[in-house]
Amino acid sequence: MESVWTKPETLTDTRMHYCPGCGHGAVHKVLMEVVDEMNIQSETIGVAPVGCSVFAYHYMNVDMQEAAHGRAAAVATGIKRVLPEKIVFSYQGDGDLAAIGTGETIHAANRGENILVIFINNAIYGMTGGQMAPTTLLGMKTTTTPEGRTTETQGFPLKITDLIAMLPGAYYVTRQAVHTPNAIRSLKKAFLNAFRYQQARKGYCLIEVVSNCPSGWKMTPVDANKWMEKNMFPLYPLGDLKAEGKLVERKQP
Amino acid sequence: MSDSKLMKGNEALAEAAIRAGCDGYFGYPITPQSEVLEYLAEEGRQRGMVVLQVESELAAINMVYGAAGAGKRAMTSSSSPGISLMQEGLSYIASAELPCLVVNVNRGGPGLGTIQPSQGDYFQSTKGGGHGDYRLIVLAPASVQEMADFVYDGFDLADAYRNPVMILADGALGQMMEAVSFKTYDPKERVPEKKWATTGKTPDRERNIVTSLFIQPEKMEEINKRLQAKYKVIQEREVKYQLTTTDDAEIVLVAYGLAARICARAAELARHRGIKAGVVRPITLYPYPYDVIRQLCGHARRFLVVEMNAGQMVEDVRLAVEGRVPVEFYGRMGGMIPPPEDILEQIIRYSENQPGGAAPAERAEVHEIMER
């Protein structure tokens, strides 16, 4: 029989705690596939955040550190600075990276830290039960914006990836997704790029993955993906924002 | 000593960090300790150390977490308000059992306070300023020489117990210049193998995980028990203190750091006047020398605790004494340093007044305040 699906070796056999339809599982798998294909398990060190992916180290069979909420980029900096030959990545959600950890996020990028930051943006705090995130869309209902997010009260969705692309320290900044096979293939290529850049000491790489949260959004996985395409992608359009240190010309959404 | 140099306390500490094999220093400028970062930015970098000025003390302590978790000797230094910002990280570091060195060159508070020397951070340092049940090993230098020496001791203790160590100094010790010599120390011989560190998972071992998250309460309690067992060993083995003329002392001063130096002079002046005074100087503030203080209750008729704060360590002295004899307190706050003469005055007052309450002058003062 032809094998149509295999689990990457660096993905552990531990059963994932993620909700059905959540994008984390696919991102984990693709990330570990790239670690396998590049044969870098023994030199890769990951940093897990606080958020839904707080247990990422249960699933990724590489050395990992669990950071305090928002501090993953600082922890990754500490590791990379003393072990510059290793491959270091952080894996963070929108609350972790773009709210409580904004300072660490921006300064790590601005220093051009030679690390990969993976940013899962699902516009909601999943782990704590569906509160507003910095990336929550205007009008979007969450447990802390029951009438929908308004600019008067909660300000605007923070496009932190666009902000980081502007910094000279950032070498490769891209926005990806995992809702279709094509999107997954594209994300895999982005991971490959980022790790190769890190090996070549090119500097800071940020990969945003626009993802869903069926539980937090209170939708079925299929509806969540449809909603994401219709509402998230216009504000967070997919594609490279910065490639090889140069800003990519993009149509304004 | 042949290699003796005249140096500022902060610079002596920084030089010792290089010699102790510190691999990474992450810091943010704050008076009165910025010389540590400045010295390392030049000397440390030249001698192969990673030295990074970062965006905040929050970032600094979390970089220490990362670097220590990667198995390297890592440190940061700051002063009181900056150390407050690091409390979150210290709790995580203590829980994840990462060895590292944190230096607090204490200044006057609360709040933004002053840049002058203070001992107002005793509680924060010794009782756990962050969340949860954890302890730092706290070393209190009293000279520029000890600012250097305690760096080696600090790293050794941190590695031996996989626990964060704090050097609790003050602005005067950081800024003043004294002769200092640097001992022979080879980090290669001293740094143990760190098999738990995240250095990349090789085929011959399971992956290493540095974490403070143990979501099952049974597991979290188990971790807590392990930490408490470690702290118990530290309490049994690592208590350090210095005694000055306490053998026959009737009035025993208890003070640490700079205040202890001033107290030693005050006790000497008291001896000239025929008052049997002595000084207990805790060198480790955690673990605390409760036993030696308890034992002195035999001939000591009173204890006088002197601190550059509103009375913090005095609570530990009272815990040790357990009401056997009176424990008095004298302190200056907000960056003020008590001169020996002021302490002598207190010694005379308390040696003239037998146990039984405040001296008449103080009662009058209290009365006056209450009337106002």
User: What is the structure's pLDDT at A2?
Assistant: 87
Residue A8: is the preceding peptide bond cis (ω within 30°)? no
* Spatial CA neighbour of A89 closest among A30, A5, A12: A30
Q: Quick one: B149 and B224 in the same domain?
A: yes
Give the mean model confidence (pLDDT) for residues B35-55: 98
Q: Quick one: B178 and B319 in the same domain?
A: no
Q: What's the pLDDT tens digit per position in A167-225? A: 999 999 999 999 999 999 999 999 999 999 999 999 999 999 999 999 999 999 999 99
| Sign of the dihedral defined by the CA atoms of residues A66, A80, B25, B2, in that order | positive
- CB-CB contact of A9 with A36 (8 Å): yes
Q: Quick one: B333 and B184 in the same domain?
A: no
Does any domain span residue B202?
no
Flag whether pLDDT at B12 surpasses 70.
Answer: yes
Does any domain span residue B206?
no
Look at B211 and A66 and tell me if their CB atoms are within 8 Å. yes
Contacts of B69 in chain A (CB under 8 A): 65, 75, 78-79
- B182 lies in which domain range? 5-192+211-237
- CB-CB contact of B61 with B136 (8 Å): no
Question: How far are the Cα atoms of A70, A157, B24 from residue A99, in angstroms, in the given order?
Answer: 8, 11, 28
Distance of CA B198 to the CA centre of its chain: 29
User: Locate tokens 């552990």: which residue?
Assistant: A12
Look at B213 and A54 and tell me if their CB atoms are within 8 Å. yes
| B201 CB within 8 Å of a chain A CB | yes
User: What is the structure's pLDDT at B372?
Assistant: 42
Q: Quick one: B82 and B187 in the same domain?
A: yes
Look at A68 and B62 and tell me if their CB atoms are within 8 Å. yes
Q: Quick one: B289 and B228 in the same domain?
A: no
User: Locate tokens 């972790």: which residue?
Assistant: A96
pLDDT tier at B366 (50, 70, 90 boundaries)?
very low
| B211 CB within 8 Å of a chain A CB | yes
Question: How far are the Cα atoms of A81, B17, B74, B105, B168 from residue B24, in angstroms, in the given order?
Answer: 8, 10, 5, 19, 20
Triad B211, B212, B216: Cα angle to 5°: 110
Does any domain span residue B151?
yes
Contacts of B68 in chain A (CB under 8 A): 78
pLDDT tier at B371 (50, 70, 90 boundaries)?
very low
Q: Quick one: B216 and B334 in the same domain?
A: no
Mean pLDDT in chain A? 97
Radius of gyration of chain B from Cα atoms?
A: 22
Percent of chain B with pLDDT over 70: 94
CB pairs under 8 A between A and B: 130
* A194: number of Cβ within 10 Å: 26
Contacts of B209 in chain A (CB under 8 A): 57, 63-66
Q: How far is A49 from chain B (nearest CA, A)?
A: 11
Q: Quick one: B314 and B225 in the same domain?
A: no
Does any domain span residue B200?
no
Does any domain span residue B274?
yes
- CB-CB contact of A34 with A192 (8 Å): yes
pTM > 0.90: yes
| Sign of the dihedral defined by the CA atoms of residues B232, B67, B181, B28, in that order | negative
Q: How many domains does chain B have?
A: 2
| Position B149, amino acid | D
Look at B59 and A79 and tell me if their CB atoms are within 8 Å. no
Mean pLDDT in chain B? 94
Q: Quick one: B233 and B353 in the same domain?
A: no
Strand order in the sheet with B24-27: B50-53, B24-27, B74-78, B100-106, B164-170, B137-139, B284-286
Q: Quick one: B159 and B285 in the same domain?
A: no
User: What is the structure's pLDDT at A253?
Assistant: 56
Q: Quick one: B256 and B226 in the same domain?
A: no
* Spatial CA neighbour of B118 closest among B368, B255, B307: B307
CATH for B109: 3.40.50.970
| Position A137, amino acid | L
| B208 CB within 8 Å of a chain A CB | yes
Q: Classify B156 as helix, strand or coil.
A: helix
How many Cα atoms within 13 Å fall on the side-chain side of residue B62?
Answer: 28
CATH for B252: 3.40.50.920
Q: How far is A217 from chain B (nearest CA, A)?
A: 25
User: Which ranges of B47-143 does DSSP label H, i.e. alpha helix?
Assistant: 57-69, 80-85, 87-96, 122-126
Q: Quick one: B139 and B288 in the same domain?
A: no
Q: Return the residue of A nearest to B58 by Cα.
A: A71
Question: What is the helix (H) or strand (E) element at residue B253, kind and residue range?
Answer: strand B251-254
Q: What's the pLDDT tens digit per position in A40-51? A: 999 999 999 999
| B131 CB within 8 Å of a chain A CB | no
Low-confidence ranges of chain A (pLDDT < 50): none
Does any domain span residue B306?
yes
Q: Quick one: B178 and B286 in the same domain?
A: no
Does any domain span residue B91?
yes
Burial class (CB in 10 A: 0-12, 13-18, 19+), A3: exposed
Flag whether pLDDT at B369 surpasses 60.
Answer: no
| Phi, psi angle pair for A220, to nearest 5° | -70, 160
| B93 CB within 8 Å of a chain A CB | no
Flag whether pLDDT at B359 surpasses 80.
Answer: no
* Spatial CA neighbour of B319 closest among B126, B169, B103: B126
